[in-house]
Amino acid sequence: MIKTDILIIGAGPTGLFTVFEAGLLKLRCHLIDALPQPGGQCSEIYPKKPIYDIPGFPEILAGELVDNLMEQIKPFDPGFTLGERAETIEKLEDDSFVVTTNKGTKHNAPIVAIAGGLGSFEPRKPQVNGIESLEGKGVEYIIRDPEVYRNKRVVIAGGGDSALDWSIFLADVASEVTLIHRRNEFRGALDSVEKVQELKNQGKINLITPAEVIGLVGHQKLSAVVVKESDNIHIDKEYTLETDHFIPLFGLSPKLGPIANWGLEIEKNAIKVDNTLDYQTNIPGIYAIGDVNTYPGKLKLILCGFHEATLMCQSAYQKINPGKKYVMKYTTVSGIDGFDGSRKEAEKAVVKKIE
Ligand SMILES: Cc1cc2nc3c(=O)[nH]c(=O)nc-3n(C[C@H](O)[C@H](O)[C@H](O)COP(=O)(O)OP(=O)(O)OC[C@H]3O[C@@H](n4cnc5c(N)ncnc54)[C@H](O)[C@@H]3O)c2cc1C
């Protein structure tokens, strides 16, 4: 059983910043995320896109923001359960909660902060007969460990950033990379589109457009995909392309998922909270912050998640330390005392006579 003060479900920007605010109050955090890496939408959907509305950063790449948040929370030494979805919640007699993941990992905390964003992401699957039976046997929707593809033949389908970025990355890892897209045009970062063009020219990526994968070959293991390709005058041809892996990267569709069954008040696929006070849900001790919550005037923006996390931590502090007064101090004054023994503080003023 993993024990902590605040159990955060969702390691997106809101969940990560919660660790920092909780750390200032000497509260320890553990995060659970269904994805294999922290960062939520920023890491999974648009790591290379610039964000322009983070206070103090005129422009920052989403992936860079996540890296900075990870650096900022380092002194507070958070725990992570990654690649596991929070599935069930149970309230114990001492009013603390036990959250169990789909892989059976149990976590216990007096406070649960749901920072689940748009929910746990489910991959959008192409309509190809029998695809489910080959999932994990050559068909994957998320690349968790690129090493799996070393010296293997890989077919990637899709026309967005993920398809482009992974084709580029795997061009140096796999023995053969084929990128298939149903249009000639790709919708992604300009440098990624140009890089794919360059790798195609060098013969490191096979590009097949406009085309679709319409069938799969293999029983216990994928052995080939069936490709339907149109030429310029729209005459279709179908053929079989041998491959070890087929990776359709058509984006992820968000689903609130198991959290929807936890007895929380839900409105339009989001969790209702008390925004006049502390972003607590209808179940005392369970908070919902960031994109996952709703209240009048709610905006699904990163900076709103940061604000909600800050107020939520103050309320959690009072619950964990009833009656104990907390006096808010500026970090410029208090500095930061990490759980790892580190200390960051502003340079002290010196007393020195000026001649
Ligand atoms: C293309 C794009 C561009 C954007 N641009 C901007 C912008 O310019 N400025 C801005 O402010 N915002 C922008 N946003 C919105 C911004 O990304 C979100 O507001 C932000 O990511 C919300 O953070 P979060 O931590 O609340 O949720 P998320 O980032 O969604 O993270 C939630 C995490 O919770 C996990 N999770 C959910 N349920 C479970 C469960 N049951 N078990 C385990 N894990 C779970 C998910 O896997 C996910 O990792 C953009 C969004 C997109 C898609």
Cα–Cα distance for residue pair 291/309, rounded to 1 Å:
11
Q: Mind listing the pLDDT tens digit for each residue in 214-253?
A: 999 998 999 999 999 987 666 788 999 999 999 999 987 7
Q: How far is ligand 1, taken at its centre, from the CA of residue 171, in Å?
A: 29
> Between residues 344 and 254, which one has the greater pLDDT?
344
Tell me the best of 17, 302, 304, 307 to mutate to test the pocket of ligand 1, counting ligand atoms within 8 Å of each CB and taking the most.
Answer: 302
Q: How far is ligand 1, taken at its centre, from the CA of residue 44, in Å?
A: 9
Q: How far is ligand 1, taken at its centre, from the CA of residue 43, in Å?
A: 9
Whether 261 has a pLDDT exceeding 90, the answer reads yes
Whether 254 has a pLDDT exceeding 80, the answer reads no
Ligand 1 atom nearest 305 alpha carbon: 26
> Between residues 232 and 284, which one has the greater pLDDT?
284
Spell out which residues line ligand 1, taking CB within 6 angstroms: 9-15, 32-35, 40-42, 45-46, 51, 53, 85-86, 115-121, 257-259, 290-291, 300-303, 305
> Between residues 286 and 350, which one has the greater pLDDT?
286
What's the pLDDT at 251? Answer: 83
Average pLDDT score over the chain: 92
- The mean pLDDT value for 327-353 works out to 86
What's the pLDDT at 113? Answer: 98
Give the dihedral of Cα atoms 73, 76, 93, 267; nearest 10 deg. -10
Q: Which of 84, 118, 115 is nearest to 102 (CA)?
A: 84
Structure tokens at 82: 């990654």
Helix (H, G, I), strand (E, B) or coil at 98: strand
Ligand 1 atom nearest 35 alpha carbon: 47
Ligand 1 atom nearest 303 alpha carbon: 11
Ligand 1 atom nearest 52 alpha carbon: 8
Q: How far is ligand 1, taken at its centre, from the CA of residue 62, in Å?
A: 11
Structure tokens at 343: 């200390």
Q: Which helix (H) or strand (E) holds 353?
A: none
Residue nearest to atom 8 of ligand 1 (CA): 51
Tell me the best of 8, 14, 41 to mutate to test the pocket of ligand 1, counting ligand atoms within 8 Å of each CB and taking the most.
Answer: 41
Q: How far is ligand 1, taken at its centre, from the CA of residue 50, in Å?
A: 15
What's the pLDDT at 119? Answer: 81
DSSP string, 263-319: S--EETTEEE--TTTT-B-SSTTEEE-GGGEE-TT----HHHHHHHHHHHHHHHHHH
Confidence bin at 328 (pLDDT 50/70/90):
confident
Q: How far is ligand 1, taken at its centre, from the CA of residue 322, in Å?
A: 32
Whether 144 has a pLDDT exceeding 80, the answer reads no
Q: Mind listing the pLDDT tens digit for each residue in 49-65?
A: 889 999 999 999 999 99
Angle between helices 13-24 and 302-320 (to 10 degrees): 40
What's the pLDDT at 345? Answer: 86
Ligand 1 atom nearest 87 alpha carbon: 41
Q: How far is ligand 1, taken at its centre, from the CA of residue 47, in Å?
A: 12
Residue nearest to atom 48 of ligand 1 (CA): 40
- Residue type (1 letter), 130: G
> Between residues 163 and 353, which one has the greater pLDDT?
163
**What is the percentage of the chain residues whose pLDDT exceeds 70?**
99
What's the pLDDT at 123? Answer: 82
Respond yes or no on whether the N-terminal peptide bond of residue 296 is cis (omega within 30° of 0): no
Q: Mind listing the pLDDT tens digit for each residue in 159-201?
A: 998 899 999 999 999 999 999 999 999 988 888 999 999 999 9
What's the pLDDT at 350? Answer: 75
- The mean pLDDT value for 19-46 works out to 93
Cα–Cα distance for residue pair 239/20, rounded to 1 Å:
54
What's the pLDDT at 232? Answer: 63
Q: How far is ligand 1, taken at its centre, from the CA of residue 10, in Å?
A: 9
Residue nearest to atom 15 of ligand 1 (CA): 301
